[in-house]
């Protein structure tokens, strides 16, 4: 059997540089165009602004080279591109709002949040050397997440904005703790599910062909679930509860590989939706607006009317195929144009073409997340990566779908773009985690030894593996005292195991082998 | 776990395809209907940033966009705003009216006729400017009508009978479009509310707008046309003219002549009946010939027909199913007969133009941003409501009205003016003052201008006002202004 000649593994760092340049061109170019088109001059803080973005890219790139050499080269440039476009649009809407004599100045604040978010992402990459460390904090994450979720309910701390009690007020700053709770709950779900997936998959009664889990195994999930429902009921936030719900169902499905979970999830969702519509007038209004947005009676309704949605549609329609151009539209005519409706603003000024391009960026970002989940070798990493990636995709779906009237409108932020610090910071942390996971996902096993296997040998090894039913690895994984030994990671080598094939021993069978780099040595 | 991950990635793909489909639906398929939605102020806002083309009268812009230093970039400015307001309308943040609305796509440069010039700007990189709209208005006639109506509520229209070109369109009281074209929505809203609440209804374009008038005796021109068209009548034909006419089907409702007295005798010639605007003979003849004949004649002149000049003209009305008594009242322009001043001018214009009614129009030419003519209005025959001989006979009858009858205040020395007066009772209890009408054309032998004038509530004369005393002098001044050029 032919042995493939050892080849240098491409880390993609050079590609990342070019992608960073593209991302900077989008963000800085958009910012410049806004100034040129609205005031026929560059925005007054253009220099510092551009420098900040360039510095951000440089720092991110250097940090990745230093601490996550094999990380997916697309993640950071994509996130930075979205962040930059969002900053330009927020600045553009500031100009529109100021011209109408309304509160503006969201742009500079968003830039500060960007710096903070990127700093946190860097911290995540630097401090968390291995994402599996997070698994130790499964239940800590649950408790912290739930505390964050209920924080807005604390009297004197929480504040109600537009009927939803979602924010906590700390002096002049308001923060939406649900955004951080999103990450913590993803960590909890990933840790919990990877430990209990067998129990959830196999134990329990079978009803109507559906494998139901045992109640006691469900305990922690039910607690988390109840917290999410509590968010809907008490904090009146449809979006966040929908997001947690989607995250929950997707991760349970990935963990258990059982469609019955999706059916159970959808049934629970349908029941919840029916209940919400009948119990809460504001939810019923959303449905009404969704179905009959253009109806004059609903449009003109003073509260709970479709004015915002319809004005967003007007903006999208004005944009048409090619858009009005940066600064040439009227996105500020829509309320919350820079946050909930930034998609409508982008569609108006960049057109259908621009909007689809932006959606493609999100799609690629989410798909890279799933791709690294497939590539990474530990179940926790798979679940966490896919959960986080799905969150980004699902958030886009809910926001863009709401604005384009594909689904009823629910208040959620567009990741990286919408004005608002909590969302931006949380999503940069998500990117930090994904960078970390992708680093171990893409890191070649035999790095530095030039041992690369032929594809055929790899296939044989793989097929041998798939015949074995994987065991539960949960407790064992937690009992590891030494640095986790994971196939293909650098630690494998330090572990003193010289035979890469050993990694196919029982210890590693909890997961599918990585598919990105086959690291089996071809032994004659 | 990889199988569900792959399925999850497919699900994400499907979600994004759905989003792209939804965006395409809104931004491509639904876009034109959303852009046309009356609640969508964006299209107006977008135009504010454009150099909108001017509206021109006799070479001078009466509406033009001037660069200003605010987010919109341009401010619409109306020279002689109130004078031309019924024509130009205004170009507001939330609303367009008048020519600004009717010729909007030309003025903002998006009209199909400007496609070539738009393609040119695509290559030259120049900013697409708006087109120019040149009106048919004669500034002298417009000014004369404006001055003559000073201080009164009323309207005047002047037409060129041979082409249908509208030479004057004045409505008083008027408003200043400049205050409605401002860029501060608060100020514009305040001004608009004030105008809406003004008792004089300054925002109405009384010449063509929604408020119709009872045409009074000017409607007798339609009676005469109907009678002459039967071929059984001539100016010398003797017709019954009692002092009082008991309306058919009523016990004691008497129809009287103007002033309440006899009108020349028990029988008079048709010529005399027109000259003195007797009521009883026309009422009786209308009952005799029936409402259908009268309605058919009125509709031949344009009653009931939608018309755009290019602003929409409210169709004038003849009642659908009057009983004989109502027919009698309708024949003298009362009951439910309602007309716009433009409609009554069209009746005279058909008489002046040998029985051929030309389509009235306001826009003479449209030019692209490069001043090339992109569209020129060709005079178009709208209808032939009467024969040439009927027109000739009616001209004689109308000349007689001004020379020897009720239209005497419309006389101009050295010119034969053909006209017809009207004094329409408005019917409301506390408001007995009639609306005064006069419609005329001159010179009778070679008509160059047709006018119709209405002055509400008898003008300054109160309930003493008649078409002759109040409206005829206004018409005379307009005619004089046109003929003096």
Chain B contact present for A397, CB below 8 A: yes
Is B453 within 8 Å of B474 (Cβ atoms)?
Answer: yes
With CA atoms as reference, the chain B residue closest to A470 would be: B1
pLDDT of residue B333: 85
Closest CB from A328, A347, A367 relative to B27: A347
Q: How far is CA B447 from CA A447, B344, B350, B473, B481, in A?
A: 102, 16, 11, 18, 14
pLDDT at B263: 82
A370 touching chain B per CB within 8 A: yes
Confirm or reject contact between A351 and chain B (CB < 8 A): yes
Contacts of B470 (CB under 8 A, 6+ apart): B152, B436, B455, B458, B459, B460, B461
Pairwise CB contact (< 8 Å): A401 & B16: no
What average pLDDT does the segment A442-469 reach?
Answer: 54
CA distance A409 to B115: 39
Closest CA to B343 of B446, B284, B422: B422
Q: For residue A119, what pLDDT is reported?
A: 96
**pTM given for the model:** 0.64
Within 10 A of A40 (CB to CB), how many other CB atoms are there?
A: 7
In Å, how far are A287, B75, B394 from B79, measured between CA atoms?
A: 51, 13, 40
Say whether B366 sits in a helix, a strand or coil.
Answer: strand
Instruction: State the DSSP H helix or E strand holding residue A216, giving kind and residue range, or none if neither.
Output: helix A215-235
Q: Does residue A387 sit at the B interface (CB-CB below 8 Å)? A: no
Q: Write out the E strands in A281-348.
A: none
Residue A294: per-residue pLDDT: 83
Closest by alpha carbon to B222, among B322, B410, B316, B348?
B348
pLDDT of residue B433: 66
Q: Which helix (H) or strand (E) holds A365?
A: helix A342-375
Return the structure tokens found at B306.
């939608």
Does residue A150 sit at the B interface (CB-CB below 8 Å)?
no
CA-CA distance, B383 to A69, in Å (whole number)? Answer: 86
What pLDDT score was predicted for residue B127? 64
Cα separation, B352 vs B391, in Å, equals 7
Q: At what angle do helices A215-235 and A259-279 cross, to 10 degrees?
A: 30
Catalytic residue among B117, B171, B174, B217: B217
pLDDT of residue A291: 86
pLDDT band for A147, please (50, 70, 90 cuts). confident
Which of A333, A360, A400 has the CB atom closest to B42's CB atom? A333
Q: Which of B415, B410, B426 is nearest to B468 (CA)?
A: B410
Residue A444 reports pLDDT greater than 50: yes
Query: Which tops the pLDDT comparison, A486 or A444?
Result: A444
- Chain B contacts of A316, Cβ < 8 Å? 23, 26-27, 31, 34
φ/ψ (deg, to 5) at A474: -55, -70
The percentage of residues in chain A with a pLDDT greater than 90, rounded to a whole number, is 37
Out of B3, B13, B23, name the one closest to residue A352 (CB). B23
Q: Which positions ≥6 away from B154 have C-beta within 8 Å?
A: B171, B172, B206, B453, B454, B455, B456, B459, B471, B474
| pLDDT given at position A2 | 57
Asked if A247 is an interface residue toward chain B (Cβ–Cβ < 8 A), one would say no
Based on its alpha-carbon atoms, the radius of gyration of chain A, rounded to whole angstroms, reads: 24
Q: Is the pLDDT of residue A1 over 60?
A: no
Model pLDDT, residue A96: 86
| A4-10 contacts, C-beta under 8 A, 24 or more apart | A4/A452, A4/A453, A4/A454, A4/A455, A5/A452, A6/A450, A6/A451, A6/A452, A7/A452, A9/A70, A9/A444, A9/A447, A9/A517
pLDDT of the residue at A256: 83
Contact A386 B8 (CB under 8 A): yes
pLDDT tens per residue across span A10-51: 788 899 999 999 999 999 999 999 999 887 788 889 999 999
Report the distance separating Cα A109 and Cα A106, nearest Å: 5
* Highest-confidence segment of A108-112, A237-241, B231-235: A108-112
Tell me if A185 sits within 8 A of A220, measured CB to CB.
no
- Cα angle at B415 between B413 and B418, to 5 degrees? 115
Q: What is the pLDDT of residue A512?
A: 42
Give A495's pLDDT tier (boundaries 50, 70, 90): very low
Q: Which helix (H) or strand (E) holds B356?
A: none
**Is B43 close to A397, i.e. CB distance below 8 A?**
no
* Nearest CB neighbour to A401, from listed B9, B22, B46: B22
One DSSP character per residue, B59-107 reads: TEEEEEEEE-SSTT-EEEEETTHHHHHHHH--B-SS-B-HHHHHTHHHH
How confident is the model at residue B426, as a pLDDT? 64
Q: Which parts of chain B register pLDDT below 70? A: 44, 49, 71, 121-122, 124-128, 210, 426-433, 458-465, 467
Are A348 and A325 a contacting pair, CB within 8 Å? no
Beta-carbon contacts of residue B395 (< 8 Å; ≥ 6 apart)? B351, B352, B418, B444
User: Do the Cβ atoms of B19 and A404 come within 8 Å?
Assistant: yes
Q: Is B375 a catalytic residue?
A: no
pLDDT in the model for residue A100:
75
Model pLDDT, residue A359: 97
Contacts with A496 (C-beta within 8 Å, 6 or more apart), sequence order? none
Of B208, B369, B23, the residue nearest A352 (C-alpha): B23
Which residues in chain A are contacts of B1 at CB distance < 8 A?
A: 254-255, 257, 373, 379, 382-383, 511-512
Q: Which residue of A has its CA nearest to B33?
A: A317
B454/chain A closest Cα distance in angstroms: 39
Token pair 């027909």: residue: B305
């Amino acid at each position: 059997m032919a042995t493939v000649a050892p080849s240098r593994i491409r880390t993609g760092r050079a590609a990342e540089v070019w992608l960073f340049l593209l991302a900077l061109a989008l963000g800085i170019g958009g910012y410049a165009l806004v100034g040129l088109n609205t005031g026929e001059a560059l925005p007054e803080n253009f220099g510092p602004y551009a420098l900040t973005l360039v510095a951000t890219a440089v720092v991110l790139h250097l940090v990745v080279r230093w601490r996550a050499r094999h990380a997916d080269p697309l993640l950071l440039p994509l996130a930075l591109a979205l962040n930059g476009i969002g900053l330009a649009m927020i600045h553009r809407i500031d100009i529109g709002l100021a011209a109408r004599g309304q509160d503006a100045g969201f742009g500079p604040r968003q830039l500060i949040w960007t710096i903070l978010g990127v700093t946190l992402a860097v911290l995540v990459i630097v401090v968390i050397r291995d994402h599996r460390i997070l698994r130790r904090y499964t239940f800590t994450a649950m408790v912290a997440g739930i505390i964050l979720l209920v924080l807005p309910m604390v009297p004197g701390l929480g504040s109600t904005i537009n009927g939803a009690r979602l924010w906590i007020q700390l002096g002049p700053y308001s923060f939406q703790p649900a955004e951080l709770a999103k990450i913590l709950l993803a960590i909890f779900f990933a840790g919990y599910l990877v430990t209990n997936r067998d129990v959830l998959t196999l134990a329990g009664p079978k009803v109507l062909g559906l494998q139901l889990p045992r109640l006691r195994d469900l305990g922690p999930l039910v607690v988390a679930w109840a917290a999410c429902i509590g968010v809907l009921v008490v904090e009146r936030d449809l979006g966040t509860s929908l997001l947690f719900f989607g995250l929950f169902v997707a991760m349970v499905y990935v963990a258990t590989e059982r469609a019955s979970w999706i059916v159970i999830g959808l049934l629970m969702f349908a029941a919840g939706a029916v209940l919400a519509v009948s119990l809460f007038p504001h939810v019923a209004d959303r449905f009404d607006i969704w179905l009959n947005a253009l109806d004059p009676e609903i449009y003109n309704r003073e509260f709970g009317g479709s004015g915002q949605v319809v004005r967003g549609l007007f903006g999208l329609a004005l944009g048409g195929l090619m858009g009005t151009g940066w600064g040439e539209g009227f996105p500020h005519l829509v309320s919350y144009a820079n946050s909930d409706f930034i998609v409508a603003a982008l569609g108006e000024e960049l057109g259908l073409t621009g909007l689809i391009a932006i959606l493609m960026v999100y799609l690629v970002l989410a798909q890279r997340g799933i791709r690294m989940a497939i590539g990474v070798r530990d179940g926790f990493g798979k679940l966490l990566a896919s959960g986080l990636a799905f969150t980004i995709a699902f958030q886009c779906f809910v926001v863009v779908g709401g604005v384009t009237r594909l689904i009823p409108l629910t208040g959620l932020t567009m990741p990286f773009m919408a004005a608002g610090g909590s969302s931006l910071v949380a999503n940069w942390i998500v990117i930090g985690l994904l960078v970390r996971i992708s680093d171990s996902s893409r890191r070649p096993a035999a790095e530095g030894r030039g041992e690369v296997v032929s594809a055929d040998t790899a296939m044989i090894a793989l097929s041998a593996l798939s015949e074995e039913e994987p065991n539960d690895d949960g407790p064992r994984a937690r009992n590891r005292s030494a640095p986790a030994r994971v196939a293909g990671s650098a630690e494998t080598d330090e572990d003193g195991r010289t035979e890469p094939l050993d990694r196919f021993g029982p210890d590693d069978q909890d997961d599918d082998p990585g598919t990105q780099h086959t690291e089996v040595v071809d032994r004659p | 776990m990889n199988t569900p991950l792959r399925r999850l990635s497919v699900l994400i793909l499907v979600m994004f395809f759905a989003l792209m489909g939804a965006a395409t639906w809104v931004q491509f398929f639904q876009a034109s209907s959303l852009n046309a939605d009356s609640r969508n102020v964006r299209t107006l806002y977008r135009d504010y940033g454009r150099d909108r083309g001017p509206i021109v009268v006799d070479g001078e812009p009466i509406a033009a966009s001037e660069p200003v230093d605010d987010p919109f970039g341009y401010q619409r400015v109306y020279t002689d705003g109130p004078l031309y307001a019924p024509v130009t309308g205004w170009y507001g943040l939330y609303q367009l009216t008048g020519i600004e609305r009717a010729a909007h796509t030309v003025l903002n440069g998006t009209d199909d006729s400007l496609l070539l010039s738009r393609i040119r700007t695509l290559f030259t990189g120049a900013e697409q400017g708006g087109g120019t709209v040149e009106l048919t208005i004669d500034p002298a006639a417009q000014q004369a009508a404006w001055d003559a109506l000073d201080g009164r509520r009323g309207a005047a229209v002047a037409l060129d009978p041979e082409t249908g070109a509208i030479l004057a369109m004045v409505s008083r009281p008027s408003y200043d479009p400049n205050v409605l074209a401002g860029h501060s929505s608060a100020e514009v809203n305040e001004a608009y509310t004030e105008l809406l609440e003004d008792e004089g209804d300054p925002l109405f374009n009384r010449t063509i707008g929604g408020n119709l008038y009872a045409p009074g005796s000017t409607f007798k021109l339609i009676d005469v046309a109907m009678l002459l068209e039967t071929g059984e009548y001539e100016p010398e034909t003797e017709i019954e003219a009692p002092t009082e006419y008991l309306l058919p089907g009523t016990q004691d409702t008497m129809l009287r002549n103007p002033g309440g007295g006899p009108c020349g005798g028990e029988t008079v010639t048709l010529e005399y009946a027109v000259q003195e605007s007797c009521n009883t003979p026309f009422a009786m003849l209308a009952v005799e010939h029936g409402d259908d004949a009268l309605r058919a004649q009125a509709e031949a002149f344009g009653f009931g027909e939608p018309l755009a000049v290019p602003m929409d003209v409210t169709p004038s009305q003849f009642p659908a199913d009057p009983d004989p008594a109502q027919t009698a009242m309708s024949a003298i322009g009362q009951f439910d007969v309602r007309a716009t001043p433009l409609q009554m001018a069209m009746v005279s214009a058909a008489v002046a133009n040998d029985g051929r009614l030309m389509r009235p129009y306001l826009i003479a030419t449209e030019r692209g941003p490069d001043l090339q003519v992109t569209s020129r209005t060709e005079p178009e025959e709208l209808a032939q409501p009467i024969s040439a001989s009927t027109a000739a006979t009616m001209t004689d009858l109308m000349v007689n009205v001004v020379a020897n009858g009720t239209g005497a205040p419309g006389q101009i020395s050295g010119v034969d003016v053909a006209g017809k007066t009207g004094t329409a009772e408005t019917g409301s209890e506390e408001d007995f003052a009639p609306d005064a009408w006069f419609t005329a054309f001159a010179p009778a032998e070679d008509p160059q201008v047709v006018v119709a004038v209405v002055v509400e509530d008898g003008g300054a004369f109160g309930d003493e006002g008649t078409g002759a005393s109040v409206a005829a002098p206004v018409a005379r001044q307009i005619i004089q202004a046109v003929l003096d050029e």
